Amino acid sequence: MRATGGPATGGERKAARPGRTSPPDLPGSADDGPWPAADPIELTVLLRRGGGAFPDVLALGGTPIPRRAYLSREEFTRRFGASADDLAQLRGADRARRAVTLRGASGELAALLGVRLRRRAHPTTPYRAQVGEPTLPPELREAVVGVLGLESRPLLRPQFRRNDDPTAVGYPVPTVGAAYGLSVVGAGSGATIGLLEFGGGFAAPDLASFFGGLGLPVPSPVVVGVDGATNAPTGDPNGPDAEVELDVELAGALAPGARLAVYFAPNSEQGFVDALTTAVHDATNRPSVISISWGGPEASWTAAGRQALESAAQDAAVQGVTVLAAAGDQGASDGEAAGTLAVDFPASSPYVLGCGGTRLTLSGTSIVAEVVWNDLAGGEGATGGGVSQEFPLPSYQSGVGVPAAPNGSAGRGVPDVAADADPRTGYAVFVDGSAAEIGGTSAAAPLWAALLARLGNALGSPVGYANPLLYAPSARPGFRPITSGSNGGYSAGPGWNPCAGLGSPIAAELLAALRGER
């Protein structure tokens, strides 16, 4: 067994309700015996932050952007990266991400950590499962805050939906952007938008066809591989390529002045944490906005995974990086059992901007109507949204009318914002050699990412952690309230609601609010 630096982060600032620590089994899976002891695996060992007291992220988020003082990535690493003492105990750690990658035989690592590893048979995705909780050697218990990678259960699903209605025609991407007013707030120049992907890839000819058809310059996204993953188009237009190309095409067309960096990682909890922390601490590409169109129900995550993601989003806030995530495409149940109310993570993190979905009707670039996206009756999905059972109500949502969580607690409300997501009023894109019309909340996330990149361009400073500012009364003119419709468990109404959050953007008004002109 040996330790080498790896892309992960600390996570010692824990969620208030950590919930289960061992991962749940995939439905339909069955035990298939012990995992081969000689099989090589890699683990991500997460370290605590070094330095003194960490900044109050919620207070930072409430500070007007012109008065914010963000830390550079280099200064952040110096102040809050892994401490010299912890680095001495676990050699090879990545200081900024506060992590070590352990490589070794599965039997050896499992014995070291006091767990058992089992093979789980599944019709489509056999995987390695962890039994028991890791127990660390006494000398490491203070330094280490989590271990990821003992199990390889696929966790993430892309939040896109293809339009299968032959009578519906998708909107050109710039038309939707113009309807929301993006064209009046800069072009995103100087910004880098990071896109996290967990399968599939994009192809240069598809980008040339899409951007060329719009008369826009064709971007050259930077590809960053994490944990051995890379840009790998499958050729299946109904698979993950649709997610990747939707993200790249929307972000590139709606923020044509921005650079794009695409982070590919394996579809697992470990891969997700490693991808986000790689992007947050990327001192080469330096994304100021990170868009995530993948997720899963809160209960499908381990406590260590949620805590690591929350910690990474806090790191991002202090460095002026906005993290956004799609709120899910399976309505108020988020794909859980019928009658269940659940929200999608990481959109449910208080340090992430959760993006819900609407059905948008346009006349030219004018909005005729906008309601909650819900086509559950037709089997075509609906926007996610509801109340977290893992994260408490954040202070910025006090007084906006978040209902009680299904377990009766006061929880974080999801989503925060919304944009067009119904595939029947979706986006005309290009995937795997063919034109396609795609929606889903995975479209709302890169749209909002492009808007925030453009707002940062106009402000002369990255927007960074925006949630508290967006909930301030002064920002209300920046939203078009979505007051009609439901997501199968909650109904829309005046003000914030668990279907469309604060509403869809009115870009010029948001710019004025973030400048402190309201």
Active site residue 243: yes
- Nearest of 301, 296, 302, 294 to residue 262 by alpha carbon: 294
- Nearest of 375, 357, 372 to residue 485 by alpha carbon: 372
How big is the chain, counted in residues?
A: 518
> Rounded to an integer, what distance in angstroms lies between the CA atom of residue 261 and that of residue 286?
9
Find the Cα–Cα–Cα–Cα dihedral 372, 373, 379, 385, rounded to 10°: -70
- Nearest of 330, 358, 279, 344 to residue 489 by alpha carbon: 330
Q: Which residue in the block uniquely carries the two structure tokens 């990682």?
A: 265
Active site residue 247: yes
> Rounded to an integer, what distance in angstroms lies between the CA atom of residue 152 and that of residue 134?
15
> Rounded to an integer, what distance in angstroms lies between the CA atom of residue 483 and that of residue 502?
10
User: Per the residue annotation, which of 94, 241, 243, 298 is the catalytic one?
Assistant: 243
DSSP state of 301: S
Q: What are phi and psi of 134, to 5 degrees?
A: -60, 135
| Tokens, residue 353 | 């901007």
Please, which residues bridge with residue 435 across strands? 430
Active site residue 197: no
Please, which residues bridge with residue 413 across strands? 387
The DSSP H or E segment spanning 120 is: strand 116-121
- Nearest of 80, 51, 7 to residue 314 by alpha carbon: 80
User: Per the residue annotation, which of 291, 311, 349, 442 is the catalytic one?
Assistant: 442
Sheet arrangement for strand 127-131: 30-34, 116-121, 127-131
Q: What are phi and psi of 312, to 5 degrees?
A: -65, -40
What single-letter amino acid sits at 285? N
> Rounded to an integer, what distance in angstroms lies between the CA atom of residue 417 and that of residue 501?
5
Q: What are phi and psi of 290, to 5 degrees?
A: -125, 120
| Tokens, residue 461 | 């400073």
DSSP 10-50: ---S--SS---SSPPPPTT-EEEEEPPTT-EEEEEEEE---
Contact yes or no for 396/481 (Cβ under 8 A): no
Alpha-helical regions (H) of 201-324: 204-214, 240-254, 269-280, 303-318
Catalytic residues: 243, 247, 442
